[in-house]
Amino acid sequence: MRAVGVNSYGGPEALEVVELPDPIAGPGQILIRVYAAAVNPTDTYVRNGARADTQSKDPWPYVPGMDAAGLVAAIGPDTVTDLVVGDRVMAIVLPSGSHGAYSEYLALPARSVTLAPAGSSHAEACSLPMNALTAQLTLDMLNLAPDATLAVTGAAGAYGGYMVQLAKAAGLRVIADASDADRDLVTSLGADVVVTRGPDVAERILEHRPGGVDAVADGSVQNEQLFGCVRDGGGFGTVRGFQADAPRGITLHQVWVRSYIEARDQLDHIRSLAETGQLSMRVAATFPAEQAAKAHALLEAGGVRGRLVIEF
């Protein structure tokens, strides 16, 4: 099969189309013929060597990718699933060595796979799993009561946008940040209040919630700069491993989506919300496998709204 990976660390130009053995669905696994794989910032770390310590024991090539969509090609023995061969599906992938979503075929745990949202394209479906599951995990860890107020930074991005929409679906009040160019987008996602992004965003959030919000989901990685806008005893969701002695009884939640790699129920919940229009499937551009380097270059240049997708 074809895949997109690297045989040495480097910039976007290090990505190349490689040939790998076709995987086989083992016990408890589903084999997917992948037609679309989304590009995430974490994929660039596999490519450039930032995750070298986790790859060093694996032979080259290293294949990135955490989001895939396609068709069920086979179901392994002793696999408990309601899916059948030919179903349109989406999946979350934990990349390791040459196993990553940038591949024509993937053998995955059955609980990493669910139906694609009805009426979606493969490119649209692959835009959901990793970022939406990360947002759902954040909400589950924060465990906020209905009508609580959540602040979301980086709200125009993939994770931040899903945080806004999932929070609204859960009955929360949302204060989100945005640049002037993204204000209409973040408003359309459902934010109750939109404040201007930037270094003083905590002060602007407090203008609308003087006692502090019940929790923050920090998609823009502002870390300790945001403690001031959280009420005493509130929650703080961080997605990049930020660690600190949080003040005033604030609970710091380390959000690592790998704990939801086999969270089929949550993944299927995301599918249902996408089908009812409560979650947006935003695709900025698609690229054939041979142009994966262009997708990475665009992502790293910044300012992309919606997902960049590699198609097989």
| CATH number reported for the structural domain that contains residue 141 in this entry | 3.40.50.720
Q: Nearest CA to 199 among 226, 231, 160, 234?
A: 226
Domain membership of residue 268 (yes or no) is: no
* Bridge pairing between strands 149-153 and 213-218: parallel
Which contacts of 187-191 are long-range, i.e. CB under 8 A and separated by 24 or more positions? 189/155, 189/161, 189/164, 189/165, 189/280, 190/164, 190/165, 191/152, 191/155, 191/164
Compute the CA torsion angle 79, 82, 87, 91 (nearest 10 deg).
-70
Domain membership of residue 90 (yes or no) is: yes
Q: Nearest CA to 38 among 127, 129, 120?
A: 127
Same domain, 46 and 97: yes
Domain membership of residue 266 (yes or no) is: no
Domain membership of residue 274 (yes or no) is: no
pLDDT given for residue 254 in this prediction: 97
pLDDT given for residue 214 in this prediction: 98
pLDDT given for residue 54 in this prediction: 76
**Please, which pLDDT band fits residue 52 given cuts at 50, 70 and 90?**
confident
pLDDT score of 305 more than 70? yes
Token pair belonging to 289: 């496998």
**Please, which pLDDT band fits residue 55 given cuts at 50, 70 and 90?**
confident
- Number of structural domains (the chain) is 2
Q: Is residue 112 classed as helix, strand or coil in its secondary structure?
A: helix
Same domain, 116 and 169: no
Same domain, 32 and 54: yes
Please write the tens of the pLDDT for every residue from 206-241: 999 999 999 999 999 999 999 999 999 999 999 999
* Those residues with Cβ within 8 angstroms of residue 177's Cβ, 6 or more apart along the chain or in another chain: 152, 153, 154, 155, 186, 194, 195, 196, 197, 198, 201, 204, 205, 220
pLDDT score of 56 more than 70? no
The model scores a pTM over 0.95: yes
Same domain, 152 and 251: yes
Same domain, 123 and 161: no
pLDDT score of 86 more than 90? yes
Three-class secondary structure assignment of 155-220:
CCCHHHHHHHHHHHHCCCEEEEEECHHHHHHHHHCCCCEEEECCCCHHHHHHHHCCCCEEEEEECC
Residue pair 19/2 in contact by the 8 Å Cβ criterion: yes
Burial of 65 (0-12, 13-18, 19+ CB in 10 A): buried
pLDDT given for residue 51 in this prediction: 81
Domain membership of residue 136 (yes or no) is: yes
Same domain, 97 and 9: yes
Same domain, 188 and 291: no
Q: Nearest CA to 152 among 94, 85, 230?
A: 230
Same domain, 8 and 44: yes
Domain with 53 in it: what CATH number?
3.90.180.10
Please write the tens of the pLDDT for every residue from 161-181: 999 999 999 999 999 999 999
pLDDT given for residue 183 in this prediction: 98
Mean pLDDT over all residues of the chain?
97
How far CA 68 is from CA of 239, 293, 311, in Å, comes to 21, 18, 10
Q: How far apart, in whole angstroms, are the C-alpha atoms of residue 31 and residue 25?
A: 5
- Beta-ladder partners of 239: none
Q: Is residue 14 classed as helix, strand or coil in its secondary structure?
A: helix
% of the chain exceeding 90 in pLDDT: 97
pLDDT given for residue 6 in this prediction: 98
Residue pair 13/63 in contact by the 8 Å Cβ criterion: no
Please write the tens of the pLDDT for every residue from 275-303: 999 999 999 999 999 999 999 999 999 99
* Bridge pairing between strands 193-196 and 149-153: unpaired
pLDDT score of 59 more than 90? yes
Please state the rounded mean pLDDT for residues 9-25. 98
Q: 243 lies in which domain range? A: 131-258
Q: Is residue 33 classed as helix, strand or coil in its secondary structure?
A: strand
Same domain, 40 and 137: no
Domain membership of residue 272 (yes or no) is: no
